[in-house]
Amino acid sequence: MNRRVSTSRRWLVFFAAATLPVAGFLAGCGKSAPHSGEAQGEVVVTVKYGGAPVVEGRVDLNDEATGKGGGAELDDQGVARIGDVAVGSYTVTVLPPPPDPTPVPDGQRAPAGKKYLDIPVSYRKISTSPLRAEVKEGSNEFEFDLKSSK
């Protein structure tokens, strides 16, 4: 009987030791905003191509020096709303939606992916995008009309 109590006690200690760090981690995952001690701005980005809204894709703000940024999907008006962005200078990239992850049955070819010609390749990479945004505290609005990079 003494051995049974000892084994139970060991399991109890093991369980407590294993779950305590997990509970502490989850407690730290509250609703605090990223960079919550810093000045932040709300960003609204409108993306057009030849005057027409770009309605599929994503806008990302990237600060390579600090690693800060944010991103959001474009809506049916070509608008992306990004909240809680740290004040600073950002390179803006516009990315097409990711390809369809549906597996292709054996023996069949994958359908050709959509090309998204309204998002020229140069705007998709941080290293080649000419788009810049200076985010200030409060409300920020930017509008970009993408030109073909041909």
Q: Does position 30 have pLDDT exceeding 60, yes or no?
A: no
Whether pTM > 0.75 for this model: the answer is no
Architecture of domain 40-99+114-146: Sandwich (2.60)
Each domain of the chain, given as residue ranges in start order, spans 40-99+114-146
Pair 71, 83: CB distance under 8 Å: no
Q: Does position 19 have pLDDT exceeding 50, yes or no?
A: yes
pLDDT digits (tens, 9 = 90+) for 52-101: 999 999 999 999 999 999 999 999 999 999 999 999 999 999 999 988 77
Q: How far apart are CA 109 and CA 16, in angstroms?
A: 52
- Residue 25 vs residue 106, higher pLDDT: 106
pLDDT digits (tens, 9 = 90+) for 97-139: 988 777 878 888 877 778 899 999 999 999 999 999 999 999 9
Pair 141, 44: CB distance under 8 Å: yes
